Each structure stands twice: as C-alpha cells, then as structure tokens.
Amino acid sequence: MDGVEQVKLALSSKRMGQYMRIAMIRNYDYCQIKIEKDDFTIDLKHSVLPTKNEISIMGFQETTNLIGKDLKPGLNEDSSVAENAVTVLKRLQAAFPCKETGVIFIDNTPAVIKHVLDALGDLVYVSLGSTNPETEAVDLVMDSCKKGREIALDVPEMPLDYSHPNAFKFNIIYYYDARWVRLEHLFSMGEIRSVHFEKNNLKCEDLNALLKYWTTSDERMTRVLKFPITEEANIQERSLFEGLIFLKTVIGGKHVRLLANKRKQFTIYVSWTDKYFKIWTYSPNDSPPVGNEAPLDREYRILEILKIKRIWKMIWRTKRIGRTLEMRLDN
C-alpha cells in the first residue's frame, strides 16, 4: 500500500484514522498544502536529503501528492475549499504526524487567508502566489509572523507604497516584487536566516548606507541577502565601499570583499556579478563557508590592522586641524 492509499484509508472514517495513528504506520517530515479557488492539494514529504550548507533549500527522497477532490468521503460538500482543506489536513496530521507544515495561497482572498491562518497556528511557511494580492491579504500574512516562520510573496506586483513592521521579521524571506522595500525596512532585519528579492529598486548609494549600518550593528541582521542587479543600481566599487574598511580576497574561486565591523570574529562578505549582488555573514559558530574551510585568522588580523590604521589617521588629521586653528588664532 503506497502513501496515497494509506492517506485515503485514514480519511475514510474517524475510526480508521485512529487505527492508523495508533499503529504508527508512518510520519512525515514536511506537509505542504496549496489552496486554490476550486480545489486544494497536499504534498507530504519524507526523508530529508543532506544540504550543502545551512541556508540551502531542503530536498526530500519521497513525496506523496494528494488532490483534494480525490479525497472523498473526507470532504464536506457544504463546506468551502479552505474549510475542507483545513479539516482534511488536521485529520491527516492526526493519523500521520508531520514535523512541519506550510501553506501556499493561490487563492489570495483575505477571508480564505484569515480562516486558514487562524486554524493552523503552527505553520513554518506561508506563501502568497499567482495574482496580485489586496493589501489586506498581505497584512494578514505579515500579522501572522512568528519565530521561525518563513514567508514568500511570489506575486507579480506589490503596492509600491506597501509597508509593515513585520516584513523583515520572518526567518526566511522571498519577495518576488521588492520594489516597495526601502532602507528602513532593511535596517529592521534582526538575526534572520536569509532574504531573497527579484524585482527591486536598490541603488549603489542604498547599498553603501546598508553596509555602513550593518558594520556598526550589534545584530547579525541576516545570514544571506541576495538580489538581482538592475541597470539603475549602477554599482561602482568606490561608491559602494565609501567610508568602509574592506579587504579583497578570493574564496571558493570567487572574488569577495570582507568588511571590518564592530563584532569580534564576525565577517561580512560582499560579492557581485553582472547579474546578482550578495551579502552574507559568518561567525565562528557557523559551519565554514563553502570553498573556504580554512580559518580566517589572517583576514581578521589584516582587518584589525586596517581599522587601527584608520583610527590613527583620524587622530592625526584631528591634531593637524587643531594645530592649523591654533596658528590662525595666534596670527
């Protein structure tokens, strides 16, 4: 009996579902439900595949795909798609425990989103997809932010004036249309895992301001920030690193810049190609960056020397200005 047949048997009656739960026939690592206007689907994933590093997307050896309309008699003909989806999911999880659960809203109707989020409080992943959502729909997802929850706004266009205090509080963030994102939004990042944009309006001066803030922040902000480079960004190395202390080096065959910052033994990496810009961070508690398993002691020492050199240069400049003022006053 395969996974689909086991699920259908468990949903055939409450008693059978209880039998399956007691028998502990199987469990799943991840359960994802997709809600559309006319139907819903459920993907049950098992056996996590090893990842290259801690920010890689998880893969699974086994996936069981279920279509809502095929799960009768577990459906109530008088209930909405969202109501049936929630009911089926809860019964399914009672029979086959799932470690984590996520939801994708193809139907972005605010009433549907509210019903599902209220009913399923332990979601680790929430996504809006397909059509452009109403602001109310996005607000509902943002309001649901919890520690460890991931968000994806995979919609063609977002309101350019959109803003929400929780927009950068999720653990993993993917915004297809991030043209609404401003510097103050990025400044609010705090110890999150990764941020990925597609469309964006970030320019070189914005990135310089972000890096300056990042190097003086007490928080890690995020492990990875990645987005495409637009023609308007006009990234020039001199402007990008103006006012910053950095070291050029090669890691994993790629040219990167390491930024000096206020945190000890903490590294901020910056790299870019003609297509993508990437900032990522590394601390001694992390697994070594791919392609650079060797310690970064040498790089840390060089950055510390550059910081001291900058300080002495500022002191010397201040003293020189002071002497010039004294000479003018004496004359």
Strand 192-199 to 267-272 pairing: unpaired
pLDDT of residue 49: 47
- 192: nearest Cα among 219, 160, 170: 170
Report, as an integer, the average pLDDT of 206-232. 93
Give Cα 7 to chain centroid, integer Å: 32
pLDDT of residue 58: 54
Report, as an integer, the average pLDDT of 283-312. 65
pLDDT of residue 214: 94
Report, as an integer, the average pLDDT of 62-79. 76
Cβ contacts of residue 323 below 8 Å, gap of 6+? Answer: none
186 three-state secondary structure? helix
- 159-216 pLDDT, tens digit per residue, is 999 999 999 999 999 999 999 999 999 999 988 999 999 999 999 999 999 999 999 9
Domain boundaries, the chain: 3-330
| Angstrom distance (rounded) from CA 14 to CA 10 | 8
Q: Of 16-25, 177-186, 292-301, where does the model show the most confidence?
A: 177-186
| Angstrom distance (rounded) from CA 180 to CA 210 | 16
Report, as an integer, the average pLDDT of 82-103. 86
pTM: 0.83
Tokens linked to 161: 């004036």
Q: Name the least confident of 34-48, 97-111, 281-295.
A: 281-295
Mean pLDDT of the chain: 81
The b-or-e profile of 260-270 (16+ CB within 10 A means b, else e) is bbeeeebbbbb
Strand 222-228 to 246-251 pairing: unpaired
The confidence band for 60, taking pLDDT boundaries of 50, 70 and 90, is very low
**CB of 49 within 8 A of CB of 59?**
yes
The confidence band for 13, taking pLDDT boundaries of 50, 70 and 90, is low
pLDDT greater at residue 282 or residue 193: 193
pLDDT of residue 218: 87
